[in-house]
Amino acid sequence: DVQLVESGGGLVPAGGSLRLSCAASGFTYSSSCMSWHRQAPGKERELISTIRIYGRTYYADSVRGRFTISKDNSKNTLYLQMNSLKPEDTAVYYCAALLGDPWCSGSWGQGYWGQGTQVTVSS
The DSSP secondary structure of 43-107, one letter per residue, reads: S--EEEEEE-GGG-EEE-TTTTTTEEEEEETTTTEEEEEE-S--GGG-EEEEEEEETT-TT--S-
Q: Which value, to the nearest 10 degrees, does the dihedral of the CA atoms of residues 78, 60, 111, 12 take?
A: 50
Tell me whether strands 91-98 and 112-113 are parallel, antiparallel or unpaired. antiparallel
Residue 55's pLDDT is: 87
Residue 38's pLDDT is: 98
Residue ranges for the chain with pLDDT beneath 50? none
Letter for the amino acid at 47? L
Residue 53's pLDDT is: 86
Letter for the amino acid at 102? P
Residue 8's pLDDT is: 97
Contact 111, 101 (CB under 8 A): no
SS3 state of residue 36: strand
Residue 72's pLDDT is: 92
